[in-house]
Amino acid sequence: MQAQKFYFPITAVTDSLVLEQQMSGLASKLMTQPPLLKLKQQNPLNFSDNLFRLEIISKEYKKSIITLSDYRNQFAEHNMAGYKFIAYEVYSLAKLTEKTENILFPNALQKAFDKKYNSLSDKMLPRLEISFDGDVHNFRKVLKKTLDKQKDTDSIDYPSALALCKSYLDYKAYSRIKPQVMQLLALKDREKFIIETKDFKTKNGNTLTITIIRKKENKSPLPVILTNNIYAGPLDSYFGKRVAIYNYVGAVVNTRGKRTSNDVNNPFEHESQDIYEVIDWVSKQPWSNGKVGMIGGSYLGFSQWAAVKKLHPALKTIVPQVAVGIGIDYPAQNNIFMSYMLQWINYVTNNKFTDEADFNNFPKWDSINTAWYKSGKSFRALDSISGKPNTIFQRWLDHPGYDAYWQKMVPYQQDFAKINIPILTTTGYYDDDQIGALSYFKAHHRYNKNANHYLVIGPYNHGGAQSFGFTFVNGNPIDPVARISIDDLAFSWFDYILKNGKKPDLLKDKINFQVMNTNTWKHVSDLEKMHTSTLKFYLQNHNEKTPSVFKTPENKSFTLQTVDFKTRDQKETYHTVSKNDSIKTTNSLYFESEVLDKDLIMSGNISGFFNVSINKKDIDTDTYLYQIKPDGKAFLLSTHIVRASYAKDNEHRQLLKPGKTEQIPIKNSIMMSKKIEKGSKLVLLVGVNKSPSWQINYGTGKDVSDETIKDAGEPLEIKWYNDSYVEIPVYKE
């Protein structure tokens, strides 16, 4: 059905009036097409997302507002999620008002904005600037690019038509409302807040930009909540206003080289030094009562750990959310560098703010990574292949082990023993920086037996664990008890520590984790108590000779895997697990368990050992644990990737000896807590990383960043011995 063509005149590409005339009819046709109607059953969220856009373009504004409301209710059970769609809602409401009241669009937009603004809770207001601050210039570029594909044809297929409708709406809506709405927002902000931005000079002569935001109604000195933000731009205002709404002073400092700073921007390197001086300054200002806390996620979470490397007396607590574990899970995860690092470096260093258009140009970055992969050049060549050599990228590659370069940025070993302030860490089972966030938590408790440090982890992705729990994550429904406001939790914590308030109800013990598919939270005193036993999944398949993969093999054997690193055009392979699903198995071996005869709660990190023999000096192993649900759908439970030569010690490389049986420990895997229903099966994939998304380890023992396809030599041969096992943590009441 998606091959169906719709009439779309060639003149619409160059004539904006013709385009305007055609879009409404095209959108109306798309709403009745089988692909969209089928999506309603397969993915209700994506269906609603497409539908409200098509309704706006087809001028069915009343319907679009209803669809948007339904969409928000699916997206999350509280209005915190609504900010993502407010711009479209206000545009629809303005167009509807323009028509029904027969007034000019600017007047209708003012009415629509006022109505929506007045309907929102105070906690929603800081998010509005982010929602309305769309990149109109980039929206126009995307629309032109989409239209250019139609230059030589008078018909358009369904996928292209849907893409055209989306890009058309983005440009049309934001170009019409952004200038006026941003002015209206600024007026509202001046009524509610005192906003000051100033340059701050450090003792060594560097310049940082600081934004201070306070509620006008708060006259007395208050605790200051500081955020260290490399993502300069609208987020500065958002972070500051969010803090002020909760009745604190918001202080947002940008890193070196951002906004008005002309210093060199070297991400991660100077936070510990700079934040100490900023804390000293804010704690002594007349609007401060001398107490400082910190909050923020990802890089902003890392910044808080940098801040406690040298702890300022005024810093009373930190709330690191989804914190980057520098050198631990970024820019390398378990010592394997990721291609994404170059995309991110450009994002934060291309200009004094953030280069959103470049960062979100996923086809560009996919093509760069693919070009590198197919070229067979060294990983060091990735920046040159992108057309923009990068000294930061090269400097990071010079440190493949967790050495002094990374160690000096955050607390290391005994540094954690000196951290005696209360801390609240939040992360999620789907968080890209879960490994980093947990690495700080583990180290703090390892070196400080009296660490006053709490953890909250649930079914959240990188964004959710620093904002709010969605209704769906990765297309999977989330238990109602997990759909909490992380903001409310964080500021309840600040009230508890900085204002002698009540301890947040959720924090019943040091580790607070949501068990997916049970609608319950559990609370334990340390990570090891997240599970009560373990289940060893050996590298064998369930069959007549092997009644259970969970029992030690009677006879030692191995499965041989061969990977040719010289091949760059291999086809992806998939294993059909049921009529409803399949799993990608490229460069992996597939092991499947028997059907589980009772419910099983997996809770914690997978661990274990791989016993292998290879014909080279090193490999990067890749592990995936899946649940095959009773309905035949696959659910990813955990992953693990590691450079074998660093698996025992991430600071010092220990090469493997070809032909010798070696043991590779499984550490720093992705944590999960979920009930696995009776009637499910478990599937284990083990194999070798060979992907454009990561470095490729050719196994010579040289610095992997310098290896090329010329180092591939003979194909890699791995003997995976069947006494290898992945240990699954199991929780029983």
**pLDDT reported for residue 1:** 41
Pick the range with the lowest mean pLDDT from 464-468, 543-547, 676-680.
Answer: 543-547
Answer yes or no: is pLDDT of 683 > 80.
yes
Residue 334 near residue 650, CB atoms below 8 Å: yes
| Per-residue CA distances from 116 to 193, 302, 466, 601 (Å) | 19, 36, 25, 44
Q: What is the separation of C-alpha 578 from the centre of its chain, rounded to a whole number of angstroms?
A: 30
Q: How far apart are CA 672 and CA 91, in angstroms?
A: 41
Show Cβ contacts of residue 90 under 8 Å, excluding neighbours closer than 6 positions: 109, 112, 113, 116, 132, 177, 181
Q: How far apart are CA 230 and CA 297, in angstroms?
A: 11
Residue 232 near residue 259, CB atoms below 8 Å: yes
Side-chain-side CA neighbours of 208 within 13 Å: the count stands at 28
Of the pLDDT bands very low, low, confident and very high (cuts 50, 70, 90), residue 567 is very high
Show Cβ contacts of residue 717 under 8 Å, excluding neighbours closer than 6 positions: 560, 561, 562, 614, 615
> pLDDT tens-digit profile of 491-528?
999 999 999 999 999 999 999 999 999 999 999 999 99
Higher pLDDT, 71 or 48: 48
pLDDT over 90, % of the chain: 91
Residue 732 near residue 577, CB atoms below 8 Å: no
**pLDDT reported for residue 644:** 98
Among candidates 466, 603, 589, 474, which has minimal Cα distance to 538?
589
95-100: list long-range contacts, CB under 8 Å, 24+ apart: 95/56, 95/59, 95/61, 96/61, 96/62, 96/65, 99/61
Q: How far apart are CA 715 and CA 564, in angstroms?
A: 4
Answer yes or no: is pLDDT of 325 > 50.
yes
Angle made by CA atoms 325, 331, 336, in degrees to the nearest 5 = 105
Report residue 500: phi and psi, to 5°: 55, 40
**pLDDT reported for residue 2:** 45
Classify burial at 106, counting beta carbons within 10 Å of its beta carbon; exposed 0-12, middle 13-18, buried 19 or more.
middle
The CATH number of 533-731, from 3.40.605.10, 2.60.120.260, 3.40.50.300, 3.40.50.150, is: 2.60.120.260
Angle made by CA atoms 667, 531, 481, in degrees to the nearest 5 = 110
**pLDDT reported for residue 46:** 87
Answer yes or no: is pLDDT of 602 > 70.
yes
HEC profile of 128-191: HHHHHCCCHHHHHHHHHHHHHCCCCCCEEEHHHHHHHHHHHHHHHHHHHHHHHHHHHHHHHHHH
**pLDDT reported for residue 705:** 98
Pick the range with the lowest mean pLDDT from 232-241, 287-296, 472-481, 622-631.
Answer: 472-481
**pLDDT reported for residue 76:** 63
Of the pLDDT bands very low, low, confident and very high (cuts 50, 70, 90), residue 307 is very high
Among candidates 135, 189, 196, 200, which has minimal Cα distance to 167?
135
Domain 202-330+404-529 class, CATH top level? alpha beta
Amino acid at 356: E
What is the rounded average pLDDT for all residues in the chain?
A: 95
Average pLDDT over residues 12-27: 95
Q: How far apart are CA 360 and CA 343, in angstroms?
A: 9
Q: Do domains 202-330+404-529 and 533-731 have the same CATH topology?
A: no
| pTM of the predicted structure, to 2 decimals | 0.95
Within 10 A of 609 (CB to CB), how many other CB atoms are there? 16
Q: How far apart are CA 46 and CA 38, in angstroms?
A: 11
**pLDDT reported for residue 136:** 96
**pLDDT reported for residue 112:** 98
Q: Crossing angle for the helix pair 271-282 and 299-307, nearest 10 degrees? A: 80
Answer yes or no: is pLDDT of 75 > 80.
no
Answer yes or no: is pLDDT of 665 > 80.
yes
> pLDDT tens-digit profile of 167-206?
999 999 999 999 999 999 999 999 999 999 999 999 999 9
Residue 648 near residue 637, CB atoms below 8 Å: no
**pLDDT reported for residue 45:** 81
Domain boundaries, the chain: 5-189, 202-330+404-529, 336-398, 533-731
Of the pLDDT bands very low, low, confident and very high (cuts 50, 70, 90), residue 543 is confident
Of the pLDDT bands very low, low, confident and very high (cuts 50, 70, 90), residue 475 is confident
Answer yes or no: is pLDDT of 43 > 90.
no
Pairing of strands 423-430, 315-321: parallel
Q: How far apart are CA 93 and CA 116, in angstroms?
A: 9
> pLDDT tens-digit profile of 335-354?
999 999 999 999 999 999 99
**pLDDT reported for residue 82:** 59
Higher pLDDT, 152 or 706: 706
Within 10 A of 449 (CB to CB), how many other CB atoms are there? 7
**pLDDT reported for residue 77:** 54
Q: Which residue has the tokens 């007349």?
A: 286
